[in-house]
Amino acid sequence: MTAPSPSTRTRTVDLDALRARRGADVPGQLFFGLLVLAVVVAFAMVGSVFWSVVDGASDIVTERFWDFLSSPSSSDPGKAGVAQGIRGSLLIALIVMMTFPIGVAAAIYLEEYAEDTWAARLIQVTVRNLAGVPSIVYGLLGLAVFVQALRGITGGSTVISGGITIAILVLPVVVITSGEAVRAVPGSLREGAYGLGATKWEVIRTQIFPAALPGILTGTVLAVGRALGEAAPLLVIGAVAFYTTGNNDFLEQMQGAFTALPMNIANFAKEPAESWRGHAATASLVLLILVFVVNLGAIVARARISKKLGN
């Protein structure tokens, strides 16, 4: 078979010219192989992490999982549990979620109200930079401001200080993702509402916010996930391994010593004795389940809202 030279105009169809050629697109196939490899590696990494957690946790899960969930930490590996850590992490998540309206409001302000001035742009850039600041730096901020300067309000190294510090840590993420969700609302929707005589507030309340809500929820899920997993700022603020005071009184809980699941994990992992082997893994499993439950809740909420909006 000889290919016709470019200068020759031929009207007969050469079937061989149209036939699929093997090895014609070598770079494309190499790239595809690379992509498959990347997917396999990514899954293998996640899988091995998950497997090591489940494998390490298996003994405690089968022997005394409920006891592990409901007991405070202890120097006795047979009794130690993560009840205080779960309580602390849930309280921190609660405080973080209470600050979400601030983040969403800031995002709506920046997207819809702020004029395009150098000040507004500076704020936008600053928010983006804050999202990249290492969490331990926020811990120092929390130590200086909430633990020390505002001790009268927060009570010092309490779950309030920890919660607010982590809330500030994740707030930029909330502002950025919410802002992107607001920006993604199609302009035609705004025009349609303005064209019917809606005020700016009505356009935001009835069109922009509902349309952006699924995206905003995605951002808040990311934020809660991050908030639940942070250990470094809590270390700086002075979260403890476990505490013995303050049991059931809510106020006492809020104002006393506190810990969180990541603190439990770190402390368990530091124990050298064989009898502590499974504790860090089991606590990690609990943390993973907690994050999963929060994500699931947000995904369900998102699906419901999307359905309601008719998308």
* Nearest-approach distance from CB 309 to other proteins, in angstroms: 4
Binder among 47, 101, 134, 192 for other proteins (CB under 8 A): 192
Whole-number CA gyration radius for the chain:
27
* Kind and range of the H or E run holding 272: none
Candidate ranges 14-22, 144-152, 201-209, 216-224; the one touching other proteins (CB under 8 A): 201-209
Buried b (16+ CB within 10 A) or exposed e, 111-148: bbeeeeeeeeeebbeebeebbeeebeebbebbbeebbe
Give 194 or 243: the residue with its C-beta nearer to other proteins: 194
Binder among 65, 109, 194, 276 for other proteins (CB under 8 A): 194
Binder among 69, 145, 189, 232 for other proteins (CB under 8 A): 189
- Cβ atoms of residues 278 and 49 within 8 Å: no
Q: Give the C-alpha separation, 139 to 35, whole Å.
A: 39
Judged by CB under 8 A, does residue 148 bind other proteins? no
* Nearest-approach distance from CB 62 to other proteins, in angstroms: 49
Indicate if the alpha-carbon torsion angle 282, 287, 293, 295 is positive or negative: negative
Q: Of 165, 166, 135, nearest to 150 (Cα)? A: 165
Judged by CB under 8 A, does residue 309 bind other proteins? yes
Candidate ranges 73-81, 192-200, 264-272, 285-293; the one touching other proteins (CB under 8 A): 192-200
Longest dimension (CA), the chain: 94
Judged by CB under 8 A, does residue 55 bind other proteins? no
Applying CB under 8 A, the residues found at the interface with other proteins are 115-116, 186, 188-199, 202, 206-207, 210-211, 309-311
